[in-house]
Amino acid sequence: GNSVTQMEGPVTLSEEAFLTINCTYTATGYPSLFWYVQYPGEGLQLLLKATKADDKGSNKGFEATYRKETTSFHLEKGSVQVSDSAVYFCALSGGYNKLIFGAGTRLAVHP
Amino acid sequence: SQTIHQWPATLVQPVGSPLSLECTVEGTSNPNLYWYRQAAGRGLQLLFYSVGIGQISSEVPQNLSASRPQDRQFILSSKKLLLSDSGFYLCAWTTQGVEAFFGQGTRLTVV
């Protein structure tokens, strides 16, 4: 069946450091891929998406590229800020647009 | 624009009591609707989804049920809560696009 595996956290970085959060998936066919972000006490917000192989999703300085050959969708940001501290979820879309999530990675950015 | 309302934001209920969480969507018609649960320190799990009025699919066996009495209303219920029902419950919707949009969530604590 479909599944998503993302690196365990927490990830602790200093402000302006480079961020990578790894995400790999297992799926039949070619699902759409997403990164969602959850700030403390809130629901999930869509951060970026990619709907086909080699697509690059980007938003707020974050990027992720849909790599079919490595079944990956790693999240990157060149320079993180304290305000980026949150939990990040990688997800894929299955039938009926049901989302299958990874376990989430908590990011803490310190000044 | 489309919005999703979910209430209450927090709820503390004794074991054995009933539960009713409500979610409504505005600004769209015939959405797919979803209930997800996030247990403490864990990822999100899909509980129920609905592709139309009165149509409910359950993803995991559990102590909860869902109903969709109107096109843009989705209700999560339980007749008798268990301690294990504690968690953060999120309602979401999709339409033609592949991405899901989430409500602010309900934090349920069963005591």
Nearest Cα residue to A78 out of A10, A29, A13: A13
Does the pLDDT at position B109 exceed 90?
Answer: yes
Average pLDDT of the segment spanning B60-75: 92
**pLDDT for A22-57, tens place per residue?**
999 999 888 999 999 999 888 899 999 999 999 999
3-state secondary structure string across chain B: CCEEEEECCEEEECCCCCEEEEEEEECCCCCEEEEEEECCCCCEEEEEEEEECCEEEECCCCCCEEEEEECCEEEEEECCCCHHHCEEEEEEEECCCCCCEECCCEEEEEC
Q: How many CB pairs under 8 A join A and B?
A: 56
Asked if the C-beta of B101 comes within 8 angstroms of chain A's C-beta atoms, the answer is yes
The alpha-carbon gap from B14 to the nearest alpha carbon of chain A, in Å, equals 22
Does the pLDDT at position B96 exceed 80?
Answer: no
Does the pLDDT at position B42 exceed 90?
Answer: no
Cβ distance of B90 and A103 shorter than 8 Å: no
Does the pLDDT at position B2 exceed 80?
Answer: no
Band of the pLDDT at A9, cuts 50, 70, 90? Answer: confident
